[in-house]
Amino acid sequence: MSPRKKNKGNQQESFDFEESEGENVPDKENLGEAGDGKAPLAQSYQNWFLEYASYVILDRAVPALEDGLKPVQRRILHALKELDDGRYNKVANVIGHSMRYHPHGDSSIYSAMVGMGQRNLLIDTQGNWGNTLTGDGAAAARYIEARLSPFAREVVFNPKTTVWQASYDGRNKEPVNLPVKFPLLLAEGCEGIAVGLACKILPHNFIEILEASIAYLQKEEFELYPDFATGGVMDASNYNDGVRGGRILVRAVFDIRSKYQIAITEIPSGVTTSSLIDSILLANSKGKVKIKKIEDNTSENAEIVITLPTGADATATIDALYVFSDCQVSVSPNSCSIANDQPTFIGVSEILRQSTDRIRGLLKKELEIKLRELEEKWHFDSLERIFIEERIYRRIEECETWESVIEEIHLGLEPFKKLLKREVTDDDVARLTEIRIKRISKYNSFKANEVIKTTEKEIRATKRSLRKLTEFTISYLQGLIDKYGKGRERRTRIDSFVTIKATEVALPTEKLYVNREDGFIGTGLKRDEFVEECTQLDNIICFCGDGTFRVSRVAEKVYMGQDIIHVAVWRKGDEETIYDMVYRDGSRGDSYVKRFMVSGVTRDKVYDLTKGNKGSKVHYFRANLDGATRPIIVRLTQTSKARTKEFEYDFGELAIKGRGSNGNRLTKYAIKSVRSLFDTEMKRR
């Protein structure tokens, strides 16, 4: 194939490929799949990225729905089971054993194992495993020890129902999934970041999970909400069943010990006492809260003692801490797990249903295996009894070959085969020949019959459990509550929070000043006119002599407009303030009067209260915080043609409208001054 030039007028030259023999030219197939024009290396990178993304999602960061475990957690439990002899094992030894199955380094195994040990459900720990309250880390792997908990031994393992696969190097076998007979994913919770997706399943209460499973099997309604080991108070009204888009709020628990001393006794999930104290100190340094001293007395339980300065209010300080520190945190769940080798996004209720169905299926499989084993035991015990009691073993004394021995035993058993529940195989006969003469000589027919009767009783009980599998599953789950539920009661209380706005609890730590002539306001203009105390979160409203106004956030210095006639902090409730205003339209126009309220403004946007004509001027302005009206005295210029040069006007006669209204015409004559009748009378007194 050789290039052939193509010319199309003045366009850039291009090349086609045509067939040619004996020339060493690139193959069109090497440019990419289906001739897409991609270079071979680019295509390889695309494949490698997809393989890596699939690996991280399926085999690393996201738990399996079947057993609720990430691969590293599953391998740790498998290693602990292989090492389990009832005694503690050095964590370093467990890590080394786990590396036979896990392709990553020891640090990832160590951190995963510490997390499992701190949750105190599957691993029984010994030594310094860190403190989830203070954030202190665990000791080195060579110093701490671990073993499987009794709960893990009972519900996690069963080699008879486990599906096995080869390890990453093919030298060992490991479980594909562990046959966990408990909704482990909801109890332990899980968090992981994969390629293109994330997982955050919150932990739930041990007892409530089992009770919900029982309710589901009984076809009753149930609800599940998170429960954190650190306690706290939670508002789960927007939990959204744990799927993406939901959100819960978790607050610390305060104890007011005296007028000037409060203590934090429970902290929110995901927060340590150290990080919580840092957030409180940061809020104090910014003037958002006022504290005198803070102490951390945390050991087994959280205890952060906060001493307040004289004059402080404990309740108001607690509200401020919820807003300005980590005493309240927002947690957004994202329920993601692996099912059938694919990421699936289902709520915690559906996870519980599927987990419960799987528990029921595992129990059925175990019962079926047990039934087969019992039937095999009954079959061989019956064969053994017939073989010994009927002295069939004497028939083989003269046999010289193995085949003749098998045949002779079969002939001896022939009259009794109808008493058995299945056919007698050569393997059964071979097992009979392995019975030692000592056992035959001491054989007790009464005890043998009792053993067979006990086996028959167990068979009937197993068949009854299979027929009533749902009731058997409920009994199993209730047994877990009775056996392991003590000490696992709910720790996080569920409540409904009232939203606390930052502007309502912020302390007035700033002082606001105004320079009316230049049009500046701010906390840094300390040589100018003092207005009032304010907070860093307040908004300031300014009205200027040209009939404009704007709202801006408190700052060190900000320009608001020339000739400021009124400035104030604009807090919640100020929307009810009624403003009275008299203004002249343009440089020589009529004068208008208006009453209005200010609401729904955009910060730093200039609003015009007049008709917008150039030269407009405000004659009178008053902010009525209580909504009351004030009569005014209007004095006209001496050169005006009006007969009455001075008259009163009552704003109570004027309807309250929006800020965009033009108002009513007051007079067509030029106004000299406008003053409040109330202020005039006060001066006379």
pLDDT tens, position by position, 376-419: 999 999 999 999 998 988 888 888 899 999 999 999 999 998 99
Instruction: Tell the CATH topology of 248-331.
Output: Gyrase A; domain 2 (3.30.1360)
Tokens read off for 674: 């406008």
Element (H, E) at 315: helix 314-324
The Cβ-side half-sphere exposure at 487, using a 13 Å CA radius, reads 4
The answer to whether 143 is a known catalytic residue is: yes
In this predicted structure, what is the pLDDT of residue 273? 94
What lies within 8 Å, CB to CB, of 188 at 6+ separation is 68, 116, 119, 121, 122, 203
pLDDT at 279 over 70: yes
Residue 12, pLDDT score: 39
Question: pLDDT at residue 31 above 60?
Answer: no
Identify the three-state secondary structure at position 194: coil
Of 200, 222, 197, 201, the closest CA to residue 212 belongs to 222
When mean pLDDT is compared across 6-15, 100-109, 122-131, 198-207, the lowest value belongs to 6-15
Flag whether pLDDT at 22 surpasses 50. no
Q: For 429-475, write each residue's pLDDT tens digit.
A: 999 998 888 888 888 889 999 999 999 999 999 999 999 999 999 99
Tens-place pLDDT, residues 643-652:
888 999 988 8
What pLDDT score does 57 carry?
A: 67
What is the distance between the alpha carbons of residues 677 and 10, in angstroms, rounded to a whole number? 87
Fold type of domain 362-484: Topoisomerase; domain 3 (1.10.268)
Percentage of the chain surpassing pLDDT 70? 88
- Residue 27 predicted with pLDDT over 60: no
User: Tens of pLDDT along 564-585?
Assistant: 999 998 865 566 788 999 999 9
Tell me the per-residue pLDDT of 256-276, one tens digit each, with 9 for 90 and over: 999 999 999 999 999 999 999
The pLDDT, as a whole number, for residue 52 is: 60
State the number of CA atoms in the 13 A half-sphere of 657 facing the CB: 14
DSSP state of 642: -
Residue 478 CA, distance from chain mean position: 28
* Sheet containing strand 123-126, strands side by side: 89-90, 145-148, 123-126
The amino acid sitting at 683 is K
pLDDT one-digit tens code per residue, 54-72: 656 666 678 999 999 999 9
Q: Counting every residue, how long is the chain? A: 685
pLDDT at 36: 53
- DSSP element (H, E) containing 566: strand 564-570
pLDDT at 150: 96
What pLDDT, in 10s, does the model give residues 167-186? 888 899 999 999 999 999 99
The stretch 611-624 carries a mean pLDDT of 91
Mean pLDDT lowest for which of 116-125, 221-230, 676-685?
676-685
Angstrom distance (rounded) from CA 149 to CA 183:
17
User: For the chain, what is the mean pLDDT?
Assistant: 87
Asked whether 338 and 57 are in contact (CB, 8 A), the reply is yes
**pLDDT score of 505 more than 80:** no
Query: What is the sign, positive or negative, of the torsion defined by CA atoms of 634, 638, 642, 644?
Result: positive
Catalytic residue among 45, 52, 110, 143: 143
Residue 32 is predicted with a pLDDT of 46
Q: State how far the Cα of 491 lies from the Cα of 227, in Å rounded to an integer.
A: 6
**DSSP H or E stretch at residue 337:** strand 337-339
Angle at 376 between CA 371 and CA 378, to 5 degrees: 95
Indicate the domain borders of the chain. Answer: 2-39, 62-177, 248-331, 362-484, 502-684
pLDDT at 561 over 70: yes
**Domain 62-177 falls under CATH 3.40.50.11140:** no
More confident position, 335 or 4: 335
Percent of the chain residues past pLDDT 90, beyond the cut: 61
Q: 147: which strand partners?
A: 124
